[in-house]
Amino acid sequence: MRDGMSSVSHQFTPGNVADIARGLDRAGIPTIEVAHGIGLGASSIQYGFAAATDPEYVRAAVDAVDNADIAVLYVPGIATLAELQGAIDAGITTVRVAVHCTEADCAQQPVEWAKDKGLNVMTFLMMSHKLEPAPLAEQAAKLDSYGADVVYVVDSAGAMVPRHAGERVAALRQAVSADIGFHAHNNLGVGIANALTAAENGATFIDGSLRGLGASAGNAQTEVLAAAFERAGWDTGVDLFPLVDTAEHVVAPLMTEPQIVDETALILGYAGVYSTFFHPTKRAAKKFGISTREILLELGRRGVIGGQEDMIVDVASELAGRTYELPARAGV
């Protein structure tokens, strides 16, 4: 649900969150992630203001469920430990600490702090496609040593195909004692296939989002995951039909646009660019009169990562052959 906030400009209300969480809990989903789409503490002019505060979203979800754990995403440099404490006070039992795939060291403080607080700690190696399996496994081993309960291969750009997912999960499986997770985006249309391949290679935690709601092309679609895993012979412990009902009657009416692989989403995955660049790139393309394709391909060539969204305007300005200037303030 947290990633899905990016598709609705972070405008789910606490009531919306409660309704979705209730349906997921009824279906047997064990962990539900809530709050701002970028993560805890991200409601700002930089990332977009949410309709409510993170603790309000957490409390709404906690009050709506009987069995599921409620989680938040913690990105070092965006969230603070004080904000994480606020989420604990509101009722979370799980935190997911996300760092760029080469920067596992940045997770040590929040992981160890959260473990001391008694939280279940999942960790994300974002943009996992940027590292080959062996060096990715080395980063995962660091997270394991800090005490992470789960280490995720995260396809933040939707740039992987099944072979990439399988190889990385298999490498992590050999390197860590923690459980392995996989988080898919669907930019190349293979999110479900990637998730199945990840499970076949040792992943036991698979992320999904109802209706695929998520940044850019969206995530692996939870209800489709449930059906596909059942058809493949896996016992997930999840009841398909409450998922379908919640997706159809609760989530679908809240969607502001179809969750599809359009040109921007496709090129974003093809170029290996972080999914949150999706809407800012569309805005920059319109402003500078150039195509999103040109911008994303150049961003991909430059190897940008999450947090470098300011590069979008720089690149668009360069490609358009003019310098972007802020409008002068009145009286200056």
**Annotated binding-site residue? 10:** no
> Which residue, 230, 254, 278, sits at the end of a domain?
254
3 is in an annotated binding site: yes
User: What pLDDT is attached to residue 134?
Assistant: 99
For 237-272, the pLDDT digits (tens) are: 999 999 999 999 999 999 998 899 999 999 999 999
Range of the domain at 288: 263-320
pLDDT of residue 257: 86
152 within domain boundaries: yes
Q: Is residue 327 part of a domain?
A: no
Do 286 and 171 reside in the same domain of the chain?
Answer: no
In total, how many domains does the chain have?
Answer: 2
Could you tell me the pTM of the whole model?
A: 0.93
Task: Tell me the H-state helices in the chain.
Answer: 14-27, 54-64, 81-90, 108-116, 133-146, 162-175, 191-200, 222-231, 240-246, 263-271, 278-288, 292-302, 311-320
145 annotated to bind ligand:
no
- Strand ordering across the sheet containing 150-154: 31-33, 69-74, 94-100, 120-126, 150-154, 179-183, 205-206
pLDDT at 330 over 60: no
Same domain, 63 and 12: yes
156 is in an annotated binding site: yes
| Residue that finishes a domain, picked among 207, 236, 254 | 254
Do residues 178 and 313 both lie within one domain?
Answer: no
Q: Do 21 and 101 reside in the same domain of the chain?
A: yes
Is residue 143 located within the same domain as residue 218?
Answer: yes
- Same-domain check for residues 234 and 270: no
Is 249 marked within a binding site? no
Residues 103 and 178 placed together within one structural domain of the fold: yes
Range 313-317 average pLDDT: 94
Say whether both 312 and 213 belong to one domain. Answer: no
Please check whether residues 176 and 295 belong to one and the same domain: no
- Same domain for 283 and 238, yes or no, is no
Q: What mean pLDDT comes out for the span 169-197?
A: 98
- In a shared domain, residues 69 and 162: yes
pLDDT tens per residue across span 268-288:
999 999 988 998 999 999 999
Residue 22 assigned as binding residue: no
